[in-house]
Amino acid sequence: MSETTGVRLRAPRHRISRKAIPYWTVRALPGWVVLLAIEIAVKVLPDDPPGTWLVAVIVATAVLALVHLAVMPSWRYRVHRWEVTPTAVYTQSGWFDQEWRVAPLSRIQTVDTERGPWEQLFGLAKVTVTTASAAGPLHIHGLDLDVARQLVDDLTAATEASEGDAT
């Protein structure tokens, strides 16, 4: 396919918003808090509480939570990238499992913007680019709202000018 379209898989140029780092931290926090609360409740509430092994589990969970909350958001920020050229959309995402995707503009079917409550709180948006690919849509997470709006406008104009039939 790359020989006919001139599109090659490569690292995209643009980083996402730095606001994605606190956003991912806040999103990950409730899961750890709930897990620690359950572990502490099991230790404190029964008449015959489990032994010291549960204290070790609580400490291990707390350490894992701190490491995860300190490392994951910055790591994801360094990995997540995007770029739109006159011929294609490039994305790179993930942190342990990393995904690089490219979609020729002629294959784009729809472009959507999504903003959940946490994304609205941080002024972020996610752009979804749907193509005819069996691999599914491309997602660009952690964009500033204004950047996301401009990206959707640019992709809409570019796909209207494209001669492909998006299949």
Task: Give per-residue pLDDT as tens, 41-60.
Answer: 988 887 777 788 989 999 99
- At residue 158 the predicted structure's pLDDT band, cuts being 50, 70 and 90, is confident
pLDDT of residue 2: 42
CA distance 124 to 132: 27
CA distance 94 to 80: 7
Residue 145: partners with Cβ closer than 8 Å, 6 or more residues away: 115, 123, 124, 125
Ordered strands of the 124-131 beta sheet: 108-114, 124-131, 138-144
Q: Which residue(s) pair with 14 in the sheet?
A: 82
Q: Is the pLDDT of residue 5 over 60?
A: no
Using a 10 angstrom Cβ sphere, with 0-12 exposed, 13-18 middle and 19 or more buried, the burial of residue 45 is: exposed
**Better-predicted residue by pLDDT, 6 or 73:** 73
CA distance 30 to 59: 17
**Neighbouring C-alpha atoms within 13 Å toward the C-beta of 128:** 8
User: What pTM did the predictor assign?
Assistant: 0.81
pLDDT tens for residues 83-132?
A: 999 888 999 999 889 999 998 888 899 999 999 999 999 999 999 999 88
- At residue 71 the predicted structure's pLDDT band, cuts being 50, 70 and 90, is very high
Q: Which residue(s) pair with 114 in the sheet?
A: 126
